[in-house]
């Protein structure tokens, strides 16, 4: 069966993104919607989005080539129909959940993904704050099982584009809770606010792209609480709006740490494959330690969603 490339749906959606940002910015500034906008921060996020488009355009051939290498080894060829695409969309989101989880749990991948979390604000421009690494961390290869199952890379690219478009609207404080049935199945602004928060209970939770059911299935779901409003950004907050620094500060930190280790490749590997905050000396500052420190200060909250028990 012959497959042909689909249009870049994210590029087609760009005017809607721009119009939505303009509306939300106006609505927030005039008090018609909840949220916060800081001009320098918003412009930095939009610059990151523009840079991401440039990098992805320049590296698209490499990314497709990496996926096409797996195509001859597929166990079947799944024809393109409405039902097969629906299946592909759900399967892609399942893979996305694990890609996203790896991006938070392995520093090698986090040095790319940290860009998206680096804003201290949460609005539609945050959705545009995307990394400049292209396919170079290799995280794209997590999607290879879908190619081996018989989904063509072009079809996966379309599913990925639609997945990304869905995630745009959930980056907002202007929308509160959705209807209960929708919150139960789909990723929403409330669920994703939790994901972007640095509050200890919210760290490393709600990895879903479209369907929040994956987090509920694999124990990473935490609901947003009225008594613990999300505080956004990263554990070590950035104090700059320089797009180059935003894009590569964690790569610089990783290389600096490796240089400090000296010629000890096993330490470099340990830093790469372990969670952010891991230290070869055992002085860890990972999300697990941050949660434990929070429980030590607030023992009455032990065992609540997102928090360990006092004995863990």
Give the confidence band of 1 by pLDDT, cuts at 50, 70, 90.
low
pLDDT tens string 79-131: 999 999 999 999 999 999 999 999 999 999 999 999 999 999 999 999 999 99
Question: Is 84 within a domain?
Answer: yes
Inform me whether the pLDDT recorded for 209 exceeds 80.
Answer: yes
Taking the CA atoms of the chain, what radius of gyration do you get in angstroms?
20
- Backbone angle region of 35, left / alpha / beta, with phi > 0 → left and psi within -120 to 50 → alpha: left
User: Rounded mean pLDDT of 176-191?
Assistant: 98
Mean pLDDT computed over every residue of the chain: 96
Question: Is 245 within a domain?
Answer: yes
User: Rounded mean pLDDT of 250-260?
Assistant: 97
Give the confidence band of 5 by pLDDT, cuts at 50, 70, 90.
confident
Inform me whether the pLDDT recorded for 311 exceeds 80.
Answer: no
Question: Is 5 within a domain?
Answer: no
Question: Is 155 within a domain?
Answer: yes
Percentage with pLDDT > 90 across the chain: 93
41 sits in which H/E element: helix 39-68
Question: Is 8 within a domain?
Answer: no
Question: Is 262 within a domain?
Answer: yes
User: Apex CA 187: angle with CA 183 and CA 193, to 5°?
Assistant: 95
Question: Is 1 within a domain?
Answer: no
Number of domains forming the structure of the chain: 1
Question: Is 135 within a domain?
Answer: yes
Inform me whether the pLDDT recorded for 2 exceeds 70.
Answer: no
122/34 Cα distance (integer angstroms): 10
pLDDT tens string 37-62: 999 999 999 999 999 999 999 998 89
- Compute the Cα dihedral for 89, 90, 95, 100 and give only its sign: positive
The confidence score (pLDDT) of residue 312 equals 60
Whole domain around residue 229: which residue ranges? 13-312
* pTM for the structure as a whole: 0.95
The confidence score (pLDDT) of residue 104 equals 98
């Amino acid at each position: 069966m012959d497959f042909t490339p689909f249009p870049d749906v994210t590029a087609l959606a760009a005017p809607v993104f721009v119009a939505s940002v303009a509306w939300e910015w106006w609505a927030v500034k005039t008090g018609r919607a909840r949220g916060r906008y800081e001009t320098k921060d918003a412009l930095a996020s939009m610059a990151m989005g523009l840079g991401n488009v440039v990098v992805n355009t320049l590296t698209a051939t490499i990314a497709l080539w990496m996926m096409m290498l797996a195509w001859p080894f597929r166990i079947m060829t799944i024809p393109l129909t409405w039902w097969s695409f629906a299946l592909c969309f759900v399967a892609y989101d399942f893979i996305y959940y694990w890609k996203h989880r790896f991006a938070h749990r392995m520093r090698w991948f986090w040095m790319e993904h940290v860009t998206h979390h680096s804003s201290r604000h949460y609005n539609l421009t945050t959705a545009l704050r995307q990394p400049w690494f292209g396919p170079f961390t290799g995280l794209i290869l997590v999607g290879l099982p879908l190619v081996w199952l018989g989904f063509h890379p072009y079809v996966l690219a379309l599913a990925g584009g639609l997945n990304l478009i869905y995630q745009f609207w959930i980056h907002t404080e202007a929308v509160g809770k959705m209807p209960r049935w929708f919150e139960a199945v789909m990723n929403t602004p409330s669920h994703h606010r939790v994901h972007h928060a640095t509050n200890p209970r919210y760290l490393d939770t709600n990895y879903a792209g479209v369907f929040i059911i994956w987090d509920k299935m694999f124990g990473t779901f935490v609901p947003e609480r009225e008594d613990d409003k999300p505080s956004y950004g990263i554990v070590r907050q950035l104090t700059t709006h320089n797009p180059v620094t935003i894009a590569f500060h964690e790569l610089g930190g990783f290389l600096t740490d490796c240089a400090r280790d000296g010629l000890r490749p096993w330490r470099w590997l340990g830093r790469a494959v372990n969670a952010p905050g891991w230290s070869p000396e055992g002085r860890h500052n990972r999300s697990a330690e941050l949660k434990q420190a929070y429980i030590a200060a607030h023992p009455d909250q032990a065992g609540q969603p997102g928090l360990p028990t006092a004995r863990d």
